[in-house]
Structure formats: C-alpha cells, structure tokens
Amino acid sequence: MKSPLTHRSALTGGLILAVCSAFLSPGPTQADDGQRSDNGPGQPVHLNLGATDLPENRTVTTLAPGVTLTKISRGGADSALFWTAEVAIPSDSPDPDAPASALSSQAKAQATADKLKAAGVDARVEHVQSPQLADAGGDLGYRVRAGDFTAKAAGDATVAKIKAAGFASSVIYTGWDGDTDTSTKTRGPWNLEVITIDPKSYKGELAASFGPDLEKRETTSQLAADAHAIAGVNAGYFVFDPKAGAEGDPAGVGVYGGKTLSEPVADRPALVIDGKKNATSIERLTWAGSLSSTSGETALDGIDRVPGLIRNCGGAHDLPTPLALHDVTCTNANEIVTFTPDFGPTTPAGPGLEVAVDSHDTVAAVSETRGESVPAGGHTVQAIGNDVAKLRALAPVGAKLKIGTGLAGQDGKTVHTDTATSIVNGGPVLIKNGKEDVTVKHDGMVHPNDGNSFYYGWVHKRNPRTFAGTDAQGNTLLVTADGRSTASLGLSLKEEADVASSLGMVQAMNLDGGGSTTAVARGTVLNSPSGGAERAVGDALLVLPSRKDDLLRDATK
C-alpha cells in the first residue's frame, strides 16, 4: 500500500527566487539572508562550533515561498589533527566472553599500554573528559592510542603490530574526538544543510513518509521523489538488523497521515507535525492498546512489528523498562501485536496464532501459525507464547474484535491526530524552552556496565547528525551535518545542541544520524552520506508542494 504522500505531482522547473552568500567571521551582526541574527545585537553571526575565530560561509537559496535552504561551511583544514591507532582494551570482567572496550580504568589502560610497549608499540594513555550534559557526561575513563599519522593507510603497520600483540585496533582521526579540552579549539572543517519552513508563508505541507510499505527501507531521495517533495531529510530510528525485527520498521513512535503505525518506546521524544499549520512540536508520548470482544479484554502490546522484539527498549532479554536503551533490542516471549495493510504484503511468519479481522471488525479466519496477508481495510492480530490462549479465547471466527489504541502526552491527555498529522521518533532532546537540555541518559544513550564505550562512540565522538526543531518565530528547521571524514568532522551531541542554539532553535531534538544522515532538494542529494552512498532508511521528513501547485502544473502538461 502506498504512503498517503505519493499522490503529489512533481515540482518542475527549479526557480531560485533568492541566492546569497557571505564569508563570515566574528564581528558582523547581519545574517546573510537579510534577517537579524538570534545571537542578539552586537554579537557575532557564526555557529558556536570549534574555535571562535573560524571563517564561516553561508549560501541561502529559496526553494519555494517560505522554504529556504542554507548551506553552511565552517572552518578549514586543521594541522593539529592526525590519524592514530586506537586500541580495544580487554574487559576486567571474569567472563572470558566479555567484549573489549575503547575505554577502561586508568590502571587497566596503563597495563595495556605497557604490554604494547613491550611488544615494540609506542602506546600512550589518554584521559577522556566529556562535556557535561543534562544527565550524563564528565569523566568517561581512559583510552590507549599509538602513533601520529598523516594518512589513514600510514597506520596500518602499527595496527598490525597491535594485533600481533593480542589486541584489536583500528585507525581513527583525532578530528572526530569530542573531548572537552579540544572541542572548542578544533578548526574544522564542518558542513551543514539547513532547511527552514516558515508556516506563515509556506502553502505546502510538511509531512513524514515511509514509502510503499512499512517493513522495507528506501533512501531519502527515493521517498522524496515518490512524494514529489521539494526537499527532505531522513527522520526517525528504524530496525536495521533483521534479527531485531522487521527491517525498516520505526524503532519508536510512527504516525503517518494520522494513522499510528508504530508505538512509542518508553517516553522518548517525538517530533509532532501538524501539516495543516506546518507547526511542529517536541513531545514525550506514551501509548496504550487493548483488544476486546464479548469474551473479555486483554492488553495489546504493539502495532506493525515482530511480536517479541522491541527495538531501543530496556536491556537485552529483558521486558520493557521505564527508560529506553538505545540500539538494544529487548525481548518478550508473550505478546499480542496487530498489523495494518501498511505493514507489507504479508505479516511476520512463525509459531503462534494469527486472526484476520475484516473492515467490519469481524474475525474472518483463525490461523494456527503466523504469516498472513492483511485484509483490505482490516487488520490481523498475532499472539505468541502464553498470549496465544488469550487471543484464541477472545477471537473465534465470527466474533467482533475491537482494537483500542491511543497516544498520550506527558500530561496524560490524549493526543488527537488527523490526516495531516505526522509523528516521528528520535532522541535525545537537545533544546527545551530555549535552553540546552541534552537528556542522553533518560533517552537511552547511557548503557550500564559497558565501560562508557557506547556513550564514547555515540554521544561523545563527532558523527554525522540529523536534527529538527523550531525557532522563536515558529519556523521549523531540518538540519543535517556531515561527518566521519576529514572534509567534515561531524558533531558530538553537545556540539549538536550548541549548533541548534546558534541557529536560534528554542526546541530541538536529535533524529537518526550516522550513515542515515541525508538531505535532499529538487531531486538532488545535498550532503555527502558517510557510507559513500545513501543508506536506505525507515522514513523521511518531506517538504511537499501545495495541492494548488499540483493542479496548476497538471493543467499545463
């Protein structure tokens, strides 16, 4: 089934209404789009990123009335940065299968460095201090590195020596570090794309799309082309590994065209879009579901996902917990999950029970295994484990089976949706009520008992990032920052929040990043995805032309 966005006709031509560029360094107070900087009178117009004296160049293009694209490049080559070999430090755990980590205690790091020195590797121990965020940060531990190379390949011989000594290692670029003692001095370079939507003058619609069906992935440019979008960026987290569920399924809340097709995980933040007003907000949402018939009622655990697998939830092999745990899949042997026609041609196959429900909420069939086609206008319900008996009792053939679902905000009030509502998942929060409030622990980026290694790589280090939010004027900003290259360093989460604040955002949240980070406009990929090519993703945020524009173009064909 097609996403509701695919009816849009193509935006042809390519009229640029305004293009301007400026070479910025501290001092000027006039922004290069002719508007006043949100930094305030007399303050420099530049991103709060790296050394304060860096040059910054911005090019602003009007994509449509009320929609602008700002390309920002900041800084340049930094002679202080170099390639080095980073060592995986063996675990202190008595478990022989415990994984090595990038960080450890000072004693363990020093012991590792001493063993490497004995093997002829000039290893060094470095203390890693991370910027303090709302609920995490500070002292992360100690790492072991060796060498100072002008090119990545020059470190291969040192890595070979390290591996011969019994340690895992890889060559990394020091420009990707987010250490507190270097991040404010780094000279770049950085490259960003900022799509700004002014709801007062833009007559089209901002919406999310997942493509032809929920379970398969498409690239951001494919999703934009199918919807004939003016511009777009990748959106929420999604299942990447088939072992964690249906590939492409949102790993958190997903509402498209007003239909809830994926439930929230814990109360992670979500970007809520009112397409009628092109107004966005950031909300922490919860969800509740139920199944009922004349035989009784039971809880519904999920929508359009593989029963028993919950991505970004709790700890491995644990039931859902109050806080999320990012990039971890928890399991539940006993679940009931419903499926809509939007999921895909067939539902996930496997042992359990599946009932087909027609468009009149009547149970049309009961199957003793899972894996069916969803009736047009209807749905199916799957059960596994002990919940098979519950579903069997509720839903014999011919029974009326009602599904109750609802999203609620932090205040407990129901979140009402209509066909113009889109909601995508993400996290952590970056900016709240005009202040930086990076809630990494609350939103699952602190992994207990892993020696801060996940935090080090995901939060502390610079990576490609995608984020979204609003400024004080009510404009929505969709931002991408390239990373994992020497041509664009990427952003730590602290730097991401700093950049969001520099852009005047008063509410902002992180979306999926890394290899997913992609910005497109008029059919062209604007940035340089870190994998060398676009990654197929779960969904995208798209800037769609107005229906009036569609009709005018159709009339001229």
| DSSP run (H or E) holding 381 | strand 379-384
Residue 420 pLDDT greater than 70, yes or no: yes
Residue 111 pLDDT greater than 80, yes or no: yes
Position 322 confidence tier, pLDDT thresholds 50, 70, 90:
confident
Residue 36 pLDDT greater than 50, yes or no: no
CA atoms of 431 and 139, how far apart (whole Å) = 23
Closest by CA position to 463, among listed 531, 537, 542, 539: 531
As a whole number of angstroms, the longest Cα–Cα distance in the chain is 78
CA atoms of 452 and 381, how far apart (whole Å) = 40
Closest by CA position to 381, among listed 359, 363, 397, 393: 363
The CB density around residue 315, as the number of other CB atoms within 10 Å, is 15
- Percent of the chain at pLDDT above 70? 87
Instruction: Give how far the C-alpha of residue 129 lies from the chain's centroid of Cα atoms, to the nearest Å.
Output: 25
CA atoms of 186 and 80, how far apart (whole Å) = 8
Tell me the per-residue pLDDT of 431-463, one tens digit each, with 9 for 90 and over.
999 999 999 999 999 998 788 999 999 999 999
Question: What are the residue boundaries of the structural domains of the chain, listed by start?
Answer: 19-76+188-282+416-556, 83-176, 300-400
Question: What is the reported pTM?
Answer: 0.90
Question: pLDDT value at position 547?
Answer: 61
Lowest mean pLDDT across 78-87, 174-183, 190-199, 490-499: 174-183
The answer to whether 182 and 77 have CB atoms below 8 angstroms apart is no
Position 183 confidence tier, pLDDT thresholds 50, 70, 90:
confident
Whole-number average pLDDT of the chain: 89
Q: Give 83-176's CATH code, choosing from 3.10.310.10, 3.30.70.1070, 3.40.50.10380, 3.40.50.80.
A: 3.30.70.1070
Amino acid occupying residue 28: P
Residue 31 pLDDT greater than 60, yes or no: no
Residue 43 pLDDT greater than 50, yes or no: no
Question: pLDDT value at position 182?
Answer: 86
Read off the pLDDT of each residue in 235-262 and give the average, rounded to a whole number: 96
Residue bearing tokens 């917990």: 321
